[in-house]
Copies of this chain bind each other. A is one copy, B any other.
Amino acid sequence: MGSIDLKKYDLRSDLIIESNLDVKHLEYKEENISVDYVHLNKDNLGKRKGDYITISFLDITDSNNFNKVLKVLNRELKKIFKLSNIKDNDKCLIIGLGNNKSTPDSLGFEVLKNIIVTRHLDELNLMDRKYRSVACLEPSVIGNTGIDSFDIIEGVNKKIKPDFVIVIDSLAAINISRIEKTIQISNTGISPGSGIGNNRPELSFESLGCKVIAIGIPTVVSSAVIVNDTINYLTKKISYQKNNLTKSKMISPNNLNYLKEESDLSNFEKEKLLGIIGTLSDSEIKSLVYEVLNPIGYNLIVSTKEIDFMIEKFGKLIGMSLNECLHKN
């Protein structure tokens, strides 16, 4: 590829499940919902040590599916609280990261809308004992406030000294199929907006002096991902057609079996189909696209047409789950 150095590019995903980490994944499934556990006992490939829970699902727009995912989310939140050794009376600060003026980045904002706050009652000893002290903070983004969200968080955190914080954020994925179909929960701390390529101080026990639970949902993929996924799906499709043309001259466009099978095109076939591109790895292709599109300065994001509607739904889902899991009753 001429003078293009592919190594120096790295498109990062916020999702442990999309990382190339060679770690043991424990997983179990229940009809259309799967849960995946990873424990890192040391930092690794930019992923911090600790517990990661990934909930994968197909839909939450149907109230039936919504309730199924809610049930699983409740269970897993309680699990991470236990894994993080959070006590019933520990005071909680929920931080909604992101930009309420950018829909795909407004998950934190939407979640806070649904949170029942109790800290002010607790401070006045008016709070029923079955509740936990819960406060909310929405630091917005530096572009709106002129203040790094970390500075707002640290300033308020020092002042009210919660026992743990819960951080809500929109995430970036590197596979289309993850958008709006995954919830990641971790107790490892996070770097706000890292997935979207910003650089901010991380929110962690080290920086805040209290436990940090993070809840995130991928709402965007970089435009580079589209090109890469297309090439992969294309390869799979051609491969599938090659193997099945004998059985059926005509393959319906709605036949999606090819998605299930891995491509078995030879490198020669791949190169014939896609030229040099066909010989590149995923990350090489993404870097190439990044290299080509980025300098042109198109600050593009890819999201779904339903993003406004979905963000509202997820805000309700996570908000309801937190209200349920944070309090004894």
A273-B275, A274-B275, A295-B256 as given contacts; A147 in contact with B176, CB under 8 Å: no
- Checking B160, B274, B300 against A302 with a beta-carbon cut-off of 8 angstroms, the contacting residue is B300
Known A230-B293, A296-B259: A302·B301 in contact at CB below 8 Å: yes
A71 touches B (CB below 8 Å) = no
Q: How far is the CA of A259 from the CA of B230 in the complex (A)?
A: 24
Distance, CA A307 to CA B302, complexed state (A): 12
Copies in the complex: 4
Contact with B along A151-164 (1 / 0, CB 8 A): 11011111110000
Say yes or no: is A266 at the interface (Cβ < 8 Å to chain B): no
The answer to whether B101 and A308 have CB atoms under 8 Å apart is yes
Chain A residues 68 to 120 lying within 8 A of chain B, measured CB to CB, are 101-103, 117-120
Q: How far is the CB of A253 from chain B (nearest CB, A)?
A: 6
| Interface-facing stretch out of A20-28, A36-44, A129-137, A203-211 | A129-137
Q: Is the CB of B230 within 8 A of A289?
A: yes
Q: Is the CB of B148 within 8 A of A120?
A: yes
Determine the main DSSP class of A at the interface with B: helix
On whether the beta carbons of B176 and A233 are closer than 8 Å, the reply is no
Given contacts A230-B289, A275-B278, A147 and B137 within 8 Å (CB-CB): yes
CA distance A13 to B262 in the complex (A): 34
Within 8 A of B (CB), among A217-251: 223, 226-227, 229-230, 233-234, 237-238, 241-242, 245, 249-251
Q: Does A11 reach chain B (CB closer than 8 Å)?
A: no
Interface residue tally on A, bucketed by range: 35 or more
B117 touches A302 (CB 8 A): no
Once bound together, how far apart are the Cα atoms of A237 and B288, in whole Å?
11
Is A3 in the interface zone, CB < 8 Å from B? yes
11 further interface pairs, Cβ-Cβ under 8 Å (given A274-B277, A275-B278, A299-B305): A1-B238, A2-B242, A119-B146, A136-B146, A137-B145, A147-B160, A151-B156, A152-B159, A155-B156, A155-B160, A300-B305
Could you list some 9 contacts between A and B, CB below 8 A? Answer: A2-B242, A3-B250, A103-B307, A117-B146, A120-B147, A137-B152, A155-B155, A155-B158, A300-B302
Binding site for B on A (CB under 8 A): 1-3, 101-103, 117-121, 133-138, 140, 142-148, 151-152, 154-160, 176-177, 179, 196, 223, 226-227, 229-230, 233-234, 237-238, 241-242, 245, 249-251, 253-254, 256, 259, 270-278, 288-289, 291-293, 295-296, 298-309
